[in-house]
Amino acid sequence: MISKALEEYLKTMYILKKQNGNIRVTDIAKKMNCTKPSVNKAIYNLKDNGLLNYESYGTIELTEEGEELAKKILEAYDIIYVFLKDVLELEEENAKEEAEKIKSTISDNTINKLAKYVHEVLGLSNLNCNYDINKEKCRCCIKRKM
């Protein structure tokens, strides 16, 4: 289990990989508004947890486990964002900011219950597949139904 701060670094790295095709310390620092030494510390912590591969001044590559965790983190954010924007009808920017804050403090169990509620209220699916944010099969099942 990694800290919420490391989750944010991992999520940022995944997004940068999808946007740019590569992950650079400078880009991470810029996107997260932090220093390069902070990024380097996070990189080595994530590497020690088996979530990425990195050699000094080399390329940063997410491992399969790192990529899966990053997807889970993004999905949890999306669930909260949808709840705030579409159910509570917050303005888009406010919903984004609040989703970031909330995501960093709630448990997977709460995310699972929130996902079921959001999907039921928005009529996206009935989630009778025992949705669990930690199970890839359930996430794919939901995405197909949407």
Q: Is the pTM of this model over 0.85?
A: no
Residue ranges, CATH 1.10.10.10, the chain: 4-62
Predicted confidence at residue 83, as pLDDT, reads 87
Q: What angle do CA 77, 21, 10 make, to 5 degrees?
A: 35
Domain 4-62 is in which class? Answer: mainly alpha
Maximum CA extent, the chain = 48
* Tokens 């991992």 sit on residue: 10
Predicted confidence at residue 63, as pLDDT, reads 96
Per-residue pLDDT of 57-90, as tens digits, reads 788 999 999 999 999 888 888 888 888 988 899 9
> Mean of the pLDDT values across residues 110-138?
67
Closest CA to 14 of 75, 67, 85, 77: 67
